[in-house]
Amino acid sequence: MDRGGRTRCGSLLGESRESLKIFLDSSVILSACGSTKSLSRLITEIAGERRWNLVSAAFCRAETGKNIIKFNQEGVSNWKILEAKIEWLPNALTTKRPLLLTLSKDKPVLISALAAKPDVLLTLDARDFALLLNTEVYGVFVTTPRDFLIREGLG
């Protein structure tokens, strides 16, 4: 359901629907760059036609840039293409809200996502986001690409 309590699968029933704002964690970005068969890649490829606005934070951009050098040339090329498709937002480093996230390395991702006010935060970091996966955190639904696609009726 979206913030208005409507289901997000309206388009599958022939109804028009609002666009979704999707915050991408660096793990999702790296997966999209590294594999043509990943669900992360699928999301980035169909985002435009599905009216999904892809956003992320400067922190995730830097993290991706630091790790993309481990990829082959195709992965690096994919990063350059994907980098242009994402709306990059400034980092948010503080929040007045309590967070159930133990590792400090992931707090900037969650805090930046909350500041961006997306509908969804996509991550592949199931270990560090374990307590938050498939839950809503202050209005942001935290999930994996696979579970997101299933909820959208595409899985």
Q: Under a CB-based contact definition with an 8 Å cutoff, are residues 148 and 122 in contact?
A: yes
* pTM of structure: 0.86
Torsion region of 18: left, alpha or beta (phi above 0 gives left; psi -120 to 50 gives alpha): beta
Phi/psi for 9 (5° steps) reads -100, 20
* First and final C-alpha spacing in the chain: 17
List pLDDT tens digits, range 135-151. 998 899 999 999 999 99
List pLDDT tens digits, range 47-74. 999 999 999 999 999 999 999 999 999 9
Residue ranges and CATH numbers for the domains of the chain are 18-151 (3.40.50.1010)
* Distance set, CA 76 to CA 24, 71, 136, 145 (Å): 18, 6, 33, 21
